[in-house]
A and B are shown apart, each in its own frame.
Chain A
Amino acid sequence: MTSRLATSGTHDTLTPCTHDYQVNCGNCRLNSICLPLALESDDVKQLDNIIQRSKPLQKSQHLYREGDDFQSVFAVRSGTLKAYKTTDDGREQVTAFYFPGEILGMDGISNNTHASSARALETAAVCEIPFSSLEKLSAMMPTLQRHFFQLMSREITEDQQLITLLSKNSADERVASLMLSISARNARRKLSATQFRLPMSRVDIGNYLGLTVETVSRVFSRMQKMDILSVDNKEIKILEVEGLRSMANMGA
């Protein structure tokens, strides 16, 4: 119903929900991913004060849309979001997936408007961090500033690696790389690196990797035949990490 949450006081954002979305940074189990490790507890409190938490996004609800004014960056607390751009001929191009603990919205920093849209792939909770407050706080807390540049560099690096992946690599390499990336991101949140549920559809995967849905399915079957993965609809089990790695040609 709303495209942006927690930016306007007219919504009943303060109504508690059964989901404990109000948990503060100090108690959040994602804080080791999302926060700079060296932040003192006093600093965490200050950061906590600027963060706005709102009720969860429903599946396929937008967090922001391309062209919206840029005001905040967002940290994913639960669920998964995808970022996409609309191409000149009106098609959707998926540009990224965001998992819990990851920050999105930084595409707006340079032009003050979001360069892409972000939509929830499943019910998702996010923390909103108003950028102006973050800038002010960063100026006072060098560790936070450094952490922020780290996040920006990670974002840039991943973009560049995706571009390289799309321009140079085979379908097998692309799918294998995405599976490894999801596995690594799960491991970072202390979840199983070898067994997970894909939050996105085959269509989104194909769109993101620049492949047709049929090709994505064919690659999955090939991987199953080679006993590298077992795939049951969205449930993925990595049977042989090394095989997946060599398929992805990691190192490139």
Chain B
Amino acid sequence: MDLAAKYASEGPRYTSYPTAPQFRQDFALEQYLAWQRKDGDHKRAPLSLYLHLPFCNDICYYCACNKIVTRQPGVARQYLDRLAKDIEVQSQLVGKQRPITQMHWGGGTPTYLDNAEITELMHLLASHFRLLDKGYREYSIEIDPRTVHNSTIALLKGVGFNRISLGIQDFDPLVQKAVNRIQPYSEVAPLVDCIRSHDFRSLSFDLIYGLPHQDRHTMDETLRKVIALRPDRIACYNYAHLPGRFSSQRAIDRLTLPQPEEKLLLQQIISHTLQDAGYLHIGMDHYVLPEDELAIALAEGRLQRNFQGYSLHMADDLLGLGVSSISQMGDFYLQNEREIDGYYKAIDAGELPATRGCKVTTEDKLRRHIIMSLICDLKLDITECNHQFGVDFRDRFAVELASLEPMRADGLLDISDNEIVISRRGRPFLRNICMPFDAYLNAHQGDRPPPKFSATL
């Protein structure tokens, strides 16, 4: 277990490269707009949509998402009115021709919206983008089990969603109480039945390890219940305790948190238990049933990692709508204004709400390829990389390879002439393995002070 102590450090989760802290206000917005206005394949290629719905009824203490906890009536209405303009402006810029092969509503709590608002929003999207109703598409929504009735599930199916992701986190009553998210198994199980009865293509659970009061026994019990409900996908996130950055986390007693070596044990319990139950381990933190598309995507090399975690690569570009959401379009990353007031102000002034971003350089693309290959496929094909980018990997990344040496000695990975392969042992340390290839860790270029990253373990 001393590996845990040795590699306990802080680092990005690599949902993008360059990572969001590297975005700047003075990015090449004009160049981006010019690219969008130019005709080309990028005006017809498939597109993913992400919608951020920031409101929550209650606060979950662990949460590090961009969210607004409120029960004030009318906030959803005000937000929807702005989102309507955002959608209109973006659809004019991006075009209506691009087939929307993937869509995800995240939050916050998307089901903070009531049935009429959900219908309205989908209607709005359908009248401004080319949503698909046939063929393969992934339209998913995050659900807080405490907020939905069976009729909402029926509605979600009816307006076109085919995937649901449930925020489960943990089933233990004490853990749920400590994080202020009480949702007993007895309430979740009938909801899962209802989702199944409406024939959603896939159901996914989010779990978190590293929460207060979690130990091997509570984790065993939570996993037993999870396996009984048999979701198609399970995402297990590592709780990052950063009370300095996320004030709600101050409500969590530091002394009740599992220590790094215990956390590693929890991660191993999750990994063994789920794999024994027939799940495949994908990437850093996902487990899927063998017939799930992600398992197939992995085998075909079509797995991607973006701001929503791992998914099937169906579109090169991702358009983010709503406060704080991030777009990845062509060679650009753009992030919408992160504060709701600023977002409203930009929208009301008729401006594009993107306030930060960066243009991906050739060097970034090379490094992104390396990091994403490692984090998705758990290996890097050096020959292919040399071929694709016209570099001599060993020469170009001699320093990086040298810093991987201790990890190789610890059995976390194997380096041969034509590939880097991460071992089973190295999997929990994926972020550590990617970090040497991140050129910005020691050369911060963002216009805000460099963030304190979450613990890698």
Q: List chain A positions with a Cβ less than 8 A from chain B.
A: 142, 145-147, 149-150, 152-154, 156-161, 163-164, 167-168, 251-252
Taken residue by residue from 177 to 203, chain B's Cβ proximity to chain A (1 for < 8 Å, 0 otherwise) reads as 000000000000010011001110000
Contact A156 B119 (CB under 8 A): yes
Contact A160 B157 (CB under 8 A): yes
Taken residue by residue from 200 to 226, chain B's Cβ proximity to chain A (1 for < 8 Å, 0 otherwise) reads as 000000000000000000000000000
Contact B117 A149 (CB under 8 A): yes
Contact A164 B197 (CB under 8 A): yes
Given contacts A156-B155, A160-B155, contact A167 B119 (CB under 8 A): no
Residue of B nearest to A110 (CB): B126
Q: Of B77, B118, B193, which contacts A153 at CB under 8 A? A: B118
Taken residue by residue from 98 to 135, chain B's Cβ proximity to chain A (1 for < 8 Å, 0 otherwise) reads as 00000000000000000111111001000000000000
Contact B193 A150 (CB under 8 A): no
Given contacts A160-B155, A164-B154, contact A150 B116 (CB under 8 A): yes
Contact A156 B117 (CB under 8 A): no
Complex: A145 Cα to B190 Cα, angstroms: 33
Q: Of B120, B152, B155, B194, which contacts A146 at CB under 8 A? A: B120
Complex: A163 Cα to B194 Cα, angstroms: 13
A168 to chain B, nearest CB (A): 5
B301 to chain A, nearest CB (A): 36
B388 interface residue per 8 A CB criterion: no
Residue of A nearest to B198 (CB): A164
Can you name 18 extra interface pairs (CB under 8 A) apart from A160-B198, A252-B193?
A149-B119, A149-B120, A152-B119, A153-B115, A153-B158, A153-B159, A156-B154, A157-B115, A157-B158, A158-B154, A160-B154, A160-B155, A161-B150, A161-B154, A163-B198, A164-B199, A167-B199, A252-B197
Contacts of B198 in A (CB 8 A): 160, 163-164
Contact A154 B115 (CB under 8 A): yes
Contact B197 A168 (CB under 8 A): yes
B115, B120, B150, B154, most chain A CB atoms within 10 A:
B154
Q: Of B120, B158, B190, which contacts A251 at CB under 8 A? A: B190
A sample of 10 inter-chain contacts (CB < 8 A) reads A150-B115, A153-B115, A153-B155, A153-B158, A153-B159, A156-B159, A157-B151, A160-B154, A160-B155, A168-B197
A149, A168, A252, most chain B CB atoms within 10 A:
A149
